[in-house]
Amino acid sequence: MVLLKVLRKTKQKEKELRLLMLYKLNIWDVGGQRTIRSFWRNYFEETDGVIWVVDSADRPRMDVCREELHKLMKEERLAGATLLVFANKQDVPSAMTAAEISQALELDAMKESRHWSIAACSAWEGAGLLEGFSWLVEDISSRMFVRS
């Protein structure tokens, strides 16, 4: 299971790992190639959260990335979905910071209509992944469950 490999790789606190293990996560990696974008709609039903992974070192594609992200998040069936943006490849020296990516993707334009966060990460090193997933799970669960 990919999520467990990611969690093991991050070597984070046991408390945070337990938080994620309280919830069942169905995760689909649908890829971003132009030829398969039309299939994204097949995964929208009952979606509570979207994870958008950005190659932080690929500056030339930021405009396309922004356009596709905003187009996706305007889908009616994703109206209530939380958005987590992973600013990946932070281990690459030429990588944009999470703040630079947030600005390039115009994430502030979504602040009135959606819960979102951006997390700097390195999938290669495992850095930042657990923090991002923890935020996503907390945000979704806070909207779905009433705590006593």
Q: Which long-range contacts does 70-74 make (Cβ < 8 Å, 24+ apart)?
A: 70/106, 70/109, 72/40, 73/110, 73/114
Binding-site sequence positions: 32, 88-91
Catalytic annotation, pick one of 2, 22, 33, 94: 33
pLDDT in tens, 118-145: 999 998 888 998 899 889 988 988 877 6
Q: CATH second-level architecture of 49-56+84-148?
A: 3-Layer(aba) Sandwich (3.40)
pLDDT given for residue 124 in this prediction: 87
Binding-site sequence positions for GTP: 32, 88-91
For the chain, domain boundaries: 49-56+84-148
Active site residue 33: yes
The two tokens of residue 24 are 């069942």
How much is the pTM?
Answer: 0.80
